[in-house]
A = this chain, B = another copy of it.
Amino acid sequence: MTLQEALETLKAMEEAQAAYGQAFSVMYVDGDTVAPKMSYKGRAKALGYLSGELYSKTVNERNIEAIQTILDAGDAVDALTRRKATVQKEDLEDMLLMPKEEYQTYQETLTEAGAVWHEAKLKSDWDAFQPYLEKLVAYKRRFAERKDASRPAYDVMLDRYEKGMNTKTLEGFFSLLRSELTPVILAVKDKPAPDDSCIHGHFPVEGQRELNRRVMAVMGLDPERTALGETEHPFTDGVNKWDVRITTHYHEDDVSQNLYSVIHEGGHALYELGVADELQFTCLSGGSAMSIHESQSRFYENLIGRSRPFMETLLPILRDVFPEQFRAVTVDQLYHAMNKAMPSLIRTEADELTYAMHVAIRFEIEKLMFSGDAKLSELPGIWNQLYHEYLGVTVPDHRRGILQDSHWSGGLFGYFPSYALGSAYGVQMLYAMERDVDVWGAVRAGDLTPVTAWLGEHIHRFGQSKTPAELLVSAEVNPFDPHVYVGYLKKKYGELYGL
Protein backbone atom coordinates (compact mmCIF):
# COMPACT_ATOMS: atom_id res chain seq x y z
CA MET A 1 0.00 0.00 0.00
CA THR A 2 1.37 3.42 -0.90
CA LEU A 3 1.38 6.21 1.66
CA GLN A 4 -1.16 8.05 -0.48
CA GLU A 5 -3.49 5.05 -0.39
CA ALA A 6 -2.95 4.72 3.35
CA LEU A 7 -3.89 8.37 3.90
CA GLU A 8 -7.02 7.96 1.80
CA THR A 9 -7.95 4.83 3.72
CA LEU A 10 -7.54 6.67 7.02
CA LYS A 11 -9.71 9.49 5.71
CA ALA A 12 -12.46 7.10 4.64
CA MET A 13 -12.27 5.34 8.00
CA GLU A 14 -12.66 8.61 9.87
CA GLU A 15 -15.52 9.68 7.65
CA ALA A 16 -17.37 6.46 8.54
CA GLN A 17 -16.60 6.83 12.23
CA ALA A 18 -17.85 10.44 12.27
CA ALA A 19 -21.10 9.53 10.51
CA TYR A 20 -21.93 6.50 12.68
CA GLY A 21 -20.69 8.33 15.76
CA GLN A 22 -23.08 11.20 15.11
CA ALA A 23 -26.01 8.80 14.63
CA PHE A 24 -25.14 7.00 17.89
CA SER A 25 -24.84 10.28 19.82
CA VAL A 26 -28.17 11.57 18.60
CA MET A 27 -29.93 8.25 19.23
CA TYR A 28 -28.44 8.10 22.70
CA VAL A 29 -29.34 11.68 23.63
CA ASP A 30 -32.79 11.32 22.11
CA GLY A 31 -33.35 8.03 23.92
CA ASP A 32 -32.46 9.63 27.22
CA THR A 33 -34.40 12.87 26.78
CA VAL A 34 -37.52 12.84 24.66
CA ALA A 35 -38.04 9.34 23.21
CA PRO A 36 -40.99 7.37 24.61
CA LYS A 37 -40.13 4.65 27.10
CA MET A 38 -40.77 1.63 24.88
CA SER A 39 -38.57 3.05 22.12
CA TYR A 40 -35.61 1.16 23.58
CA LYS A 41 -36.89 -1.97 21.81
CA GLY A 42 -36.16 -0.62 18.37
CA ARG A 43 -33.18 1.43 19.48
CA ALA A 44 -31.39 -1.58 20.96
CA LYS A 45 -31.82 -3.48 17.68
CA ALA A 46 -30.74 -0.52 15.54
CA LEU A 47 -27.72 0.40 17.66
CA GLY A 48 -26.68 -3.25 17.77
CA TYR A 49 -26.85 -3.52 14.01
CA LEU A 50 -25.21 -0.18 13.24
CA SER A 51 -22.41 -0.71 15.73
CA GLY A 52 -21.67 -3.94 13.85
CA GLU A 53 -21.51 -1.91 10.65
CA LEU A 54 -19.09 0.55 12.20
CA TYR A 55 -17.06 -2.36 13.55
CA SER A 56 -16.67 -3.74 10.01
CA LYS A 57 -15.78 -0.29 8.67
CA THR A 58 -13.10 0.04 11.35
CA VAL A 59 -11.69 -3.41 11.93
CA ASN A 60 -10.39 -4.77 8.65
CA GLU A 61 -7.09 -5.69 7.08
CA ARG A 62 -6.96 -2.66 4.85
CA ASN A 63 -7.29 -0.21 7.77
CA ILE A 64 -4.70 -2.07 9.80
CA GLU A 65 -2.26 -1.93 6.91
CA ALA A 66 -3.00 1.75 6.28
CA ILE A 67 -2.37 2.72 9.87
CA GLN A 68 0.88 0.80 10.02
CA THR A 69 1.96 2.35 6.71
CA ILE A 70 1.40 5.83 8.14
CA LEU A 71 3.19 5.04 11.38
CA ASP A 72 6.12 3.60 9.42
CA ALA A 73 6.35 6.66 7.19
CA GLY A 74 8.10 8.73 9.85
CA ASP A 75 8.59 12.37 8.91
CA ALA A 76 6.85 11.89 5.58
CA VAL A 77 3.57 12.53 7.43
CA ASP A 78 2.74 15.51 9.61
CA ALA A 79 2.43 15.21 13.38
CA LEU A 80 -1.37 15.46 13.36
CA THR A 81 -1.75 12.57 10.95
CA ARG A 82 0.70 10.51 12.95
CA ARG A 83 -1.30 11.21 16.09
CA LYS A 84 -4.50 10.13 14.31
CA ALA A 85 -2.84 6.88 13.28
CA THR A 86 -1.63 6.29 16.84
CA VAL A 87 -5.10 6.83 18.32
CA GLN A 88 -6.71 4.68 15.63
CA LYS A 89 -4.20 1.92 16.26
CA GLU A 90 -4.98 1.86 19.99
CA ASP A 91 -8.72 1.71 19.29
CA LEU A 92 -8.31 -0.95 16.64
CA GLU A 93 -6.21 -3.14 18.90
CA ASP A 94 -8.94 -2.93 21.51
CA MET A 95 -11.67 -3.75 19.02
CA LEU A 96 -9.70 -6.70 17.69
CA LEU A 97 -9.95 -8.22 21.17
CA MET A 98 -13.74 -8.45 20.81
CA PRO A 99 -15.22 -10.24 17.79
CA LYS A 100 -17.95 -8.37 15.97
CA GLU A 101 -20.86 -10.38 17.40
CA GLU A 102 -19.60 -9.90 20.94
CA TYR A 103 -19.18 -6.20 20.32
CA GLN A 104 -22.70 -5.90 18.89
CA THR A 105 -24.23 -7.84 21.76
CA TYR A 106 -22.44 -5.53 24.15
CA GLN A 107 -23.87 -2.46 22.39
CA GLU A 108 -27.38 -3.93 22.61
CA THR A 109 -26.87 -4.75 26.28
CA LEU A 110 -25.79 -1.16 26.93
CA THR A 111 -28.98 0.20 25.41
CA GLU A 112 -31.15 -2.12 27.46
CA ALA A 113 -29.10 -1.55 30.61
CA GLY A 114 -29.66 2.20 30.31
CA ALA A 115 -33.44 1.76 30.19
CA VAL A 116 -33.43 -0.82 32.98
CA TRP A 117 -31.20 1.30 35.24
CA HIS A 118 -33.54 4.26 34.77
CA GLU A 119 -36.55 2.25 35.95
CA ALA A 120 -34.57 0.48 38.67
CA LYS A 121 -33.40 3.79 40.10
CA LEU A 122 -36.93 5.18 40.21
CA LYS A 123 -38.06 2.05 42.06
CA SER A 124 -34.90 1.61 44.20
CA ASP A 125 -34.78 -1.88 42.71
CA TRP A 126 -31.21 -3.23 42.76
CA ASP A 127 -32.33 -6.74 41.79
CA ALA A 128 -33.67 -5.45 38.48
CA PHE A 129 -30.35 -3.84 37.60
CA GLN A 130 -27.91 -6.45 38.93
CA PRO A 131 -28.21 -8.93 36.01
CA TYR A 132 -27.32 -6.16 33.56
CA LEU A 133 -24.38 -5.04 35.68
CA GLU A 134 -23.29 -8.66 35.77
CA LYS A 135 -23.22 -8.82 31.97
CA LEU A 136 -21.39 -5.52 31.59
CA VAL A 137 -18.75 -6.35 34.20
CA ALA A 138 -18.25 -9.79 32.67
CA TYR A 139 -17.74 -8.21 29.25
CA LYS A 140 -15.20 -5.73 30.61
CA ARG A 141 -13.34 -8.43 32.51
CA ARG A 142 -13.11 -10.58 29.40
CA PHE A 143 -11.83 -7.57 27.51
CA ALA A 144 -9.22 -6.73 30.15
CA GLU A 145 -8.01 -10.30 30.33
CA ARG A 146 -7.54 -10.51 26.58
CA LYS A 147 -5.77 -7.15 26.56
CA ASP A 148 -3.31 -7.92 29.33
CA ALA A 149 -3.87 -11.00 31.45
CA SER A 150 -0.79 -10.19 33.56
CA ARG A 151 -2.42 -7.17 35.20
CA PRO A 152 -5.52 -6.80 37.35
CA ALA A 153 -8.59 -6.12 35.19
CA TYR A 154 -9.32 -2.80 36.90
CA ASP A 155 -5.81 -1.53 36.18
CA VAL A 156 -6.24 -2.35 32.50
CA MET A 157 -9.41 -0.29 32.46
CA LEU A 158 -8.01 2.68 34.36
CA ASP A 159 -5.09 2.76 31.96
CA ARG A 160 -7.56 2.90 29.04
CA TYR A 161 -9.11 6.07 30.48
CA GLU A 162 -5.78 7.65 31.22
CA LYS A 163 -2.49 6.16 30.06
CA GLY A 164 -0.33 5.14 33.01
CA MET A 165 -3.08 5.37 35.63
CA ASN A 166 -3.46 2.42 37.99
CA THR A 167 -5.04 1.30 41.24
CA LYS A 168 -1.93 1.97 43.29
CA THR A 169 -1.59 5.60 42.19
CA LEU A 170 -5.26 6.23 42.85
CA GLU A 171 -5.10 4.53 46.23
CA GLY A 172 -2.33 6.98 47.17
CA PHE A 173 -4.34 9.90 45.80
CA PHE A 174 -7.57 9.02 47.61
CA SER A 175 -5.71 8.10 50.78
CA LEU A 176 -4.12 11.57 50.84
CA LEU A 177 -7.50 13.22 50.25
CA ARG A 178 -9.13 11.14 52.95
CA SER A 179 -6.49 11.72 55.58
CA GLU A 180 -6.17 15.45 54.85
CA LEU A 181 -9.83 16.27 54.31
CA THR A 182 -11.53 14.14 56.97
CA PRO A 183 -10.37 16.42 59.81
CA VAL A 184 -11.72 19.44 57.90
CA ILE A 185 -15.04 17.67 57.26
CA LEU A 186 -15.28 16.82 60.97
CA ALA A 187 -14.35 20.37 62.02
CA VAL A 188 -16.99 21.83 59.72
CA LYS A 189 -19.56 19.46 61.22
CA ASP A 190 -18.99 21.07 64.62
CA LYS A 191 -19.64 24.56 63.30
CA PRO A 192 -23.11 26.05 62.94
CA ALA A 193 -24.48 25.38 59.44
CA PRO A 194 -24.83 28.49 57.26
CA ASP A 195 -28.32 29.67 56.40
CA ASP A 196 -29.11 28.27 52.95
CA SER A 197 -32.85 28.85 53.12
CA CYS A 198 -32.69 31.15 50.08
CA ILE A 199 -31.94 28.25 47.72
CA HIS A 200 -34.80 26.16 49.08
CA GLY A 201 -38.45 26.92 48.44
CA HIS A 202 -40.48 26.73 45.27
CA PHE A 203 -38.70 27.40 41.97
CA PRO A 204 -40.98 26.58 39.02
CA VAL A 205 -39.25 24.84 36.12
CA GLU A 206 -40.09 27.68 33.73
CA GLY A 207 -38.15 30.10 35.95
CA GLN A 208 -35.23 27.72 36.19
CA ARG A 209 -35.18 27.48 32.40
CA GLU A 210 -34.85 31.26 32.24
CA LEU A 211 -32.09 31.10 34.86
CA ASN A 212 -30.28 28.54 32.69
CA ARG A 213 -30.53 30.76 29.63
CA ARG A 214 -29.01 33.65 31.58
CA VAL A 215 -26.21 31.60 33.13
CA MET A 216 -25.38 29.88 29.84
CA ALA A 217 -25.04 33.36 28.31
CA VAL A 218 -22.61 34.37 31.09
CA MET A 219 -20.59 31.24 30.31
CA GLY A 220 -20.56 32.13 26.62
CA LEU A 221 -22.25 28.90 25.49
CA ASP A 222 -23.31 29.61 21.92
CA PRO A 223 -27.06 28.84 21.73
CA GLU A 224 -26.78 28.09 18.01
CA ARG A 225 -24.39 25.25 18.80
CA THR A 226 -25.59 24.09 22.22
CA ALA A 227 -28.91 22.57 23.26
CA LEU A 228 -30.12 21.88 26.79
CA GLY A 229 -32.33 18.86 27.50
CA GLU A 230 -33.76 17.19 30.57
CA THR A 231 -32.74 13.79 31.96
CA GLU A 232 -32.69 11.81 35.17
CA HIS A 233 -28.91 12.15 35.24
CA PRO A 234 -27.28 15.23 33.63
CA PHE A 235 -24.66 14.64 30.94
CA THR A 236 -22.90 16.18 27.95
CA ASP A 237 -22.61 14.73 24.48
CA GLY A 238 -20.40 16.62 22.07
CA VAL A 239 -21.61 15.45 18.68
CA ASN A 240 -19.24 17.90 17.06
CA LYS A 241 -18.31 21.54 17.68
CA TRP A 242 -21.50 22.70 15.95
CA ASP A 243 -23.73 20.42 17.95
CA VAL A 244 -23.19 20.00 21.67
CA ARG A 245 -25.93 18.64 23.92
CA ILE A 246 -26.11 19.11 27.65
CA THR A 247 -28.85 17.97 29.99
CA THR A 248 -30.02 18.87 33.47
CA HIS A 249 -32.54 17.71 36.04
CA TYR A 250 -34.96 20.12 37.66
CA HIS A 251 -35.84 20.01 41.34
CA GLU A 252 -38.52 22.58 42.04
CA ASP A 253 -37.62 22.75 45.74
CA ASP A 254 -33.92 23.54 45.29
CA VAL A 255 -32.63 26.06 42.77
CA SER A 256 -28.97 25.14 43.16
CA GLN A 257 -29.07 21.57 41.84
CA ASN A 258 -30.13 22.36 38.29
CA LEU A 259 -28.00 25.51 38.33
CA TYR A 260 -24.77 23.69 39.14
CA SER A 261 -25.61 20.79 36.81
CA VAL A 262 -25.87 23.30 33.99
CA ILE A 263 -22.61 25.01 34.93
CA HIS A 264 -20.86 21.63 35.22
CA GLU A 265 -22.15 20.30 31.90
CA GLY A 266 -21.59 23.75 30.42
CA GLY A 267 -17.90 23.34 31.28
CA HIS A 268 -17.81 20.08 29.35
CA ALA A 269 -19.67 21.78 26.50
CA LEU A 270 -17.18 24.68 26.28
CA TYR A 271 -14.43 22.11 25.86
CA GLU A 272 -16.22 20.40 22.95
CA LEU A 273 -17.20 23.75 21.41
CA GLY A 274 -13.58 24.88 21.53
CA VAL A 275 -11.89 22.00 19.71
CA ALA A 276 -10.17 23.22 16.54
CA ASP A 277 -12.10 23.06 13.26
CA GLU A 278 -9.40 20.95 11.59
CA LEU A 279 -9.98 18.15 14.11
CA GLN A 280 -13.73 17.90 13.53
CA PHE A 281 -15.04 14.66 12.07
CA THR A 282 -11.73 12.92 12.87
CA CYS A 283 -10.76 10.65 15.74
CA LEU A 284 -9.09 13.64 17.39
CA SER A 285 -12.29 15.69 17.77
CA GLY A 286 -13.91 15.83 21.18
CA GLY A 287 -12.18 16.13 24.50
CA SER A 288 -9.21 14.14 25.75
CA ALA A 289 -9.10 11.74 28.72
CA MET A 290 -12.05 11.92 31.09
CA SER A 291 -9.96 13.45 33.86
CA ILE A 292 -9.11 16.35 31.54
CA HIS A 293 -12.76 16.64 30.59
CA GLU A 294 -13.83 16.65 34.22
CA SER A 295 -11.15 19.22 35.02
CA GLN A 296 -13.09 21.58 32.74
CA SER A 297 -16.57 20.84 34.05
CA ARG A 298 -15.53 20.99 37.69
CA PHE A 299 -13.50 24.13 36.97
CA TYR A 300 -16.61 26.04 35.93
CA GLU A 301 -18.86 24.41 38.49
CA ASN A 302 -16.70 24.98 41.53
CA LEU A 303 -13.62 27.11 41.04
CA ILE A 304 -15.68 29.69 39.14
CA GLY A 305 -19.32 28.89 39.88
CA ARG A 306 -18.96 28.54 43.64
CA SER A 307 -16.47 31.40 44.04
CA ARG A 308 -17.38 34.56 45.92
CA PRO A 309 -16.88 36.83 42.87
CA PHE A 310 -19.32 34.69 40.86
CA MET A 311 -22.00 35.44 43.46
CA GLU A 312 -21.78 39.10 42.42
CA THR A 313 -22.80 38.05 38.90
CA LEU A 314 -25.26 35.38 39.95
CA LEU A 315 -27.24 37.29 42.57
CA PRO A 316 -28.67 39.95 40.20
CA ILE A 317 -29.76 37.16 37.82
CA LEU A 318 -31.43 35.23 40.64
CA ARG A 319 -33.14 38.45 41.78
CA ASP A 320 -34.45 39.04 38.26
CA VAL A 321 -35.79 35.52 37.83
CA PHE A 322 -36.96 34.80 41.39
CA PRO A 323 -37.44 38.26 42.95
CA GLU A 324 -39.39 37.04 46.00
CA GLN A 325 -36.75 34.57 47.10
CA PHE A 326 -33.63 36.67 46.52
CA ARG A 327 -34.67 40.29 47.11
CA ALA A 328 -33.22 40.40 50.62
CA VAL A 329 -30.27 38.05 50.12
CA THR A 330 -26.72 39.48 50.16
CA VAL A 331 -23.73 38.34 48.11
CA ASP A 332 -22.15 37.00 51.25
CA GLN A 333 -25.23 35.03 52.26
CA LEU A 334 -25.46 33.56 48.79
CA TYR A 335 -21.77 32.60 48.87
CA HIS A 336 -22.23 30.76 52.16
CA ALA A 337 -25.47 29.13 51.04
CA MET A 338 -23.90 27.84 47.82
CA ASN A 339 -20.92 26.46 49.74
CA LYS A 340 -22.64 24.77 52.63
CA ALA A 341 -20.47 21.75 53.41
CA MET A 342 -22.33 18.76 54.70
CA PRO A 343 -21.81 15.02 54.29
CA SER A 344 -24.69 13.90 52.10
CA LEU A 345 -26.02 11.07 49.98
CA ILE A 346 -25.84 12.29 46.39
CA ARG A 347 -22.51 12.80 44.64
CA THR A 348 -23.75 15.29 42.05
CA GLU A 349 -25.19 17.51 44.79
CA ALA A 350 -22.19 17.30 47.10
CA ASP A 351 -20.21 20.38 48.13
CA GLU A 352 -16.59 20.71 47.03
CA LEU A 353 -15.21 19.57 50.36
CA THR A 354 -17.00 16.25 50.72
CA TYR A 355 -17.18 15.54 46.98
CA ALA A 356 -13.99 13.51 46.72
CA MET A 357 -15.24 11.12 49.41
CA HIS A 358 -18.17 10.17 47.15
CA VAL A 359 -15.70 9.39 44.41
CA ALA A 360 -13.41 7.45 46.76
CA ILE A 361 -16.37 5.21 47.70
CA ARG A 362 -17.10 4.43 44.06
CA PHE A 363 -13.41 3.65 43.52
CA GLU A 364 -13.58 1.11 46.36
CA ILE A 365 -16.76 -0.44 44.94
CA GLU A 366 -15.32 -0.70 41.44
CA LYS A 367 -12.18 -2.38 42.76
CA LEU A 368 -14.41 -5.00 44.38
CA MET A 369 -16.43 -5.49 41.18
CA PHE A 370 -13.33 -6.39 39.26
CA SER A 371 -11.23 -8.17 41.88
CA GLY A 372 -14.08 -10.57 42.54
CA ASP A 373 -13.57 -10.08 46.29
CA ALA A 374 -17.27 -9.42 46.66
CA LYS A 375 -20.36 -10.68 44.87
CA LEU A 376 -22.38 -8.05 43.03
CA SER A 377 -25.29 -8.78 45.36
CA GLU A 378 -23.13 -7.70 48.29
CA LEU A 379 -22.27 -4.32 46.78
CA PRO A 380 -25.34 -2.38 47.96
CA GLY A 381 -24.56 -3.34 51.54
CA ILE A 382 -20.91 -2.40 51.13
CA TRP A 383 -21.92 0.87 49.50
CA ASN A 384 -24.11 1.76 52.47
CA GLN A 385 -21.37 0.77 54.90
CA LEU A 386 -18.79 2.93 53.10
CA TYR A 387 -21.11 5.94 53.13
CA HIS A 388 -21.42 5.48 56.85
CA GLU A 389 -17.67 5.09 57.27
CA TYR A 390 -16.46 7.89 54.96
CA LEU A 391 -19.23 10.41 55.41
CA GLY A 392 -21.19 9.35 58.47
CA VAL A 393 -24.49 9.25 56.58
CA THR A 394 -27.14 6.53 56.45
CA VAL A 395 -28.35 5.49 53.01
CA PRO A 396 -32.15 5.14 53.13
CA ASP A 397 -32.67 3.40 49.77
CA HIS A 398 -30.79 2.33 46.63
CA ARG A 399 -32.24 5.21 44.66
CA ARG A 400 -30.18 7.56 46.81
CA GLY A 401 -27.52 4.90 47.19
CA ILE A 402 -25.83 2.59 44.75
CA LEU A 403 -28.32 3.21 41.93
CA GLN A 404 -27.87 7.00 41.89
CA ASP A 405 -25.37 7.26 39.01
CA SER A 406 -25.93 6.27 35.38
CA HIS A 407 -22.27 5.47 34.65
CA TRP A 408 -22.19 1.73 35.21
CA SER A 409 -25.31 1.22 33.10
CA GLY A 410 -23.32 2.90 30.32
CA GLY A 411 -20.39 0.54 30.78
CA LEU A 412 -18.27 3.28 32.32
CA PHE A 413 -16.13 1.50 34.89
CA GLY A 414 -13.00 3.32 36.02
CA TYR A 415 -14.54 6.66 35.07
CA PHE A 416 -15.37 7.97 38.55
CA PRO A 417 -11.78 8.66 39.66
CA SER A 418 -11.64 11.17 36.78
CA TYR A 419 -13.96 13.48 38.71
CA ALA A 420 -11.59 13.76 41.64
CA LEU A 421 -8.47 13.91 39.48
CA GLY A 422 -10.08 16.55 37.29
CA SER A 423 -11.05 18.61 40.34
CA ALA A 424 -7.45 18.49 41.50
CA TYR A 425 -6.00 19.36 38.06
CA GLY A 426 -8.36 22.33 37.84
CA VAL A 427 -6.95 24.07 40.87
CA GLN A 428 -3.46 24.06 39.39
CA MET A 429 -4.87 25.34 36.08
CA LEU A 430 -6.59 28.17 37.93
CA TYR A 431 -3.37 29.25 39.62
CA ALA A 432 -1.60 29.22 36.24
CA MET A 433 -4.45 31.15 34.62
CA GLU A 434 -4.36 33.81 37.33
CA ARG A 435 -0.84 34.69 36.25
CA ASP A 436 -2.05 35.54 32.71
CA VAL A 437 -5.64 36.71 33.07
CA ASP A 438 -7.74 38.89 35.37
CA VAL A 439 -9.91 35.88 36.22
CA TRP A 440 -11.93 37.48 38.99
CA GLY A 441 -12.47 40.72 37.10
CA ALA A 442 -14.03 38.69 34.28
CA VAL A 443 -16.14 36.67 36.71
CA ARG A 444 -17.42 39.84 38.41
CA ALA A 445 -18.16 41.39 35.01
CA GLY A 446 -20.38 38.41 34.17
CA ASP A 447 -18.45 37.50 31.04
CA LEU A 448 -16.28 34.40 31.24
CA THR A 449 -14.78 34.89 27.77
CA PRO A 450 -11.21 35.50 29.06
CA VAL A 451 -11.39 32.40 31.27
CA THR A 452 -12.63 30.22 28.40
CA ALA A 453 -10.08 31.80 26.06
CA TRP A 454 -7.23 30.72 28.36
CA LEU A 455 -8.58 27.18 28.62
CA GLY A 456 -9.24 27.20 24.88
CA GLU A 457 -5.64 28.15 24.18
CA HIS A 458 -4.11 25.67 26.64
CA ILE A 459 -6.53 22.73 26.36
CA HIS A 460 -9.72 22.91 24.31
CA ARG A 461 -8.35 23.55 20.85
CA PHE A 462 -6.11 20.49 20.96
CA GLY A 463 -8.97 17.97 21.20
CA GLN A 464 -7.25 14.60 21.38
CA SER A 465 -4.28 15.72 19.35
CA LYS A 466 -2.26 15.81 22.56
CA THR A 467 -2.10 13.07 25.19
CA PRO A 468 -3.55 13.81 28.65
CA ALA A 469 0.01 14.14 29.99
CA GLU A 470 0.89 16.66 27.26
CA LEU A 471 -2.29 18.61 27.96
CA LEU A 472 -1.44 18.84 31.65
CA VAL A 473 1.91 20.34 30.70
CA SER A 474 0.19 22.72 28.26
CA ALA A 475 -2.23 23.80 31.01
CA GLU A 476 0.70 24.25 33.40
CA VAL A 477 -0.33 21.41 35.74
CA ASN A 478 3.30 20.46 35.94
CA PRO A 479 4.05 18.55 38.04
CA PHE A 480 0.65 17.45 39.24
CA ASP A 481 0.52 17.74 43.02
CA PRO A 482 -2.67 16.78 44.87
CA HIS A 483 -1.47 18.81 47.86
CA VAL A 484 -2.33 21.95 45.86
CA TYR A 485 -5.96 20.75 45.63
CA VAL A 486 -6.02 19.86 49.31
CA GLY A 487 -4.52 23.24 50.15
CA TYR A 488 -7.16 25.03 48.10
CA LEU A 489 -9.99 23.19 49.88
CA LYS A 490 -8.49 23.76 53.32
CA LYS A 491 -8.10 27.48 52.66
CA LYS A 492 -11.58 27.93 51.18
CA TYR A 493 -13.41 26.00 53.88
CA GLY A 494 -11.18 27.35 56.64
CA GLU A 495 -12.27 30.87 55.70
CA LEU A 496 -15.90 29.95 55.12
CA TYR A 497 -16.27 28.21 58.45
CA GLY A 498 -13.71 30.20 60.48
CA LEU A 499 -11.68 27.10 61.31
**Interface positions of A (Cβ within 8 A of B):** 15-16, 18-20, 22-23, 26-27, 29-30, 33-39, 41-43, 45-46, 49-50, 53, 206, 222-227, 229, 239-240, 242-245, 280-281
Q: What are 11 A-B interface contacts by the 8 Å CB criterion?
A: A18-B42, A18-B46, A23-B23, A23-B50, A27-B27, A36-B226, A39-B227, A42-B239, A42-B243, A45-B281, A53-B53
A20 neighbours in B (Cβ, 8 Å):
50
Could you tell me if A39 and B229 are in contact, using CB atoms closer than 8 angstroms?
no
- A132 shortest CB reach to chain B, Å: 19
Chain B residues lying within 8 Å of A244, measured Cβ to Cβ, are 36
How near does chain B come to A124, taking the closest CB pair, in angstroms? Answer: 21
Contact B26 A227 (CB under 8 A): no
Q: Is the CB of B35 within 8 A of A227?
A: yes
Q: Bound state CA distance, A227 and B43, in angstroms? A: 15
Q: How far is the CA of A225 from the CA of B38 in the complex (A)?
A: 5
- Which of chain B's residues have a CB closer than 8 A to the CB of A225? 36-39
A50 near B206: Cβ-Cβ < 8 Å: no
Contact of A224 among B37, B53, B229 (CB under 8 A): B37
Quick check: B27 and A29 within 8 Å, CB to CB? no
Least distance between A287 CB and chain B CB atoms (Å): 17
Q: Which of chain B's residues have a CB closer than 8 A to the CB of A281?
A: 42, 45
Counting chain B CB atoms within 10 Å of each CB, the highest count among A15, A38, A226 belongs to A38
Taking a contact as CB atoms under 8 Å apart, the answer to whether A229 and B34 are in contact is: yes
Is there an interface contact between B242 and A41, defined as CB atoms closer than 8 Å? Answer: yes
> A26 is contacted by which of B26, B223, B239 (Cβ under 8 Å)?
B26
Integer count of this chain's copies in the complex? 2
Tell me the nearest residue of chain B to A15, going by C-beta.
B49
The minimal Cβ–Cβ distance linking A423 to chain B, given in whole angstroms, is 28
By a CB distance below 8 angstroms, the chain B residues around A30 are 26, 29-30
Report the separation of the CA atoms of residues A39 and B226 in the bound assembly, to the nearest whole angstrom.
9
Q: How far is the CB of A71 from chain B (nearest CB, A)?
A: 26
Contact A243 B34 (CB under 8 A): no
The closest CB in chain B to the CB of A37 belongs to: B224
Which single residue of chain B is at the shortest CB-CB distance from A51? B19
Is B38 touching A224 in the complex (CB atoms < 8 A)? Answer: yes
Nearest CB on B from A33, distance (A): 7
In contact, B19 and A49 (Cβ under 8 angstroms): yes
A37 to B224, alpha carbons, bound, how many Å?
A: 5
Since A16-B49, A20-B50, A37-B225 are in contact, a sample of 5 more A-B pairs with Cβ atoms closer than 8 Å, ordered by chain A residue number, is A15-B49, A35-B227, A36-B227, A39-B243, A42-B239
Contact A224 B36 (CB under 8 A): yes
- Residues of B contacting A226 with CB < 8 Å? 36
Chain B CB within 10 Å — which of A15, A42, A239 has the most? A42
Give the residues in chain B near A23, CB-CB below 8 Å: 23, 26-27, 46, 50
- Residue numbers in B under 8 Å from A41 (CB-CB): 240, 242-243
Q: How far is the CA of A29 from the CA of B27 in the complex (A)?
A: 10
Closest 9 CB pairs of A and B: A39-B243, A19-B49, A22-B46, A38-B242, A19-B46, A23-B23, A42-B240, A37-B224, A36-B227
Q: How far is the CA of A22 from the CA of B42 in the complex (A)?
A: 8
Task: Give the residue name and chain of the B residue nearest to A229 (CB).
Answer: B34
How far does the Cβ of A27 sit from chain B's closest Cβ, in whole Å?
A: 5
What B residues does A45 contact at CB under 8 A? 18-19, 22, 281
Q: Which residues from chain B contact A224 at a C-beta distance below 8 Å? A: 36-38
**B residues near A38, Cβ cutoff 8 Å:** 222, 224-225, 242-243
Nearest Cβ on chain B to A280's Cβ, whole angstroms: 8
Closest chain-B Cβ to A248's Cβ sits at a distance in Å of 13
A64 to chain B, nearest CB (A): 21
Q: Distance (Å) between the CB of A193 and the closest chain B CB? A: 35
Q: Which residue of B lies closest to A41 (CB)?
A: B242
CB distance from A112 to the nearest CB of B (A): 13
Q: How many angstroms from the CA of A229 to the CA of B30 in the assembled complex? A: 11
Structural contact, B26 and A243, CB atoms closer than 8 A: no
Question: Which residues of B are found within 8 Å of A35, using beta-carbon distances?
Answer: 26, 227, 243, 245
Q: How far is the CA of A190 from the CA of B376 in the complex (A)?
A: 78
Q: How far is the CA of A161 from the CA of B109 in the complex (A)?
A: 39
Q: Could you tell me the distance between the alpha carbons of A45 and B18 in the complex, rounded to whole angstroms?
A: 9
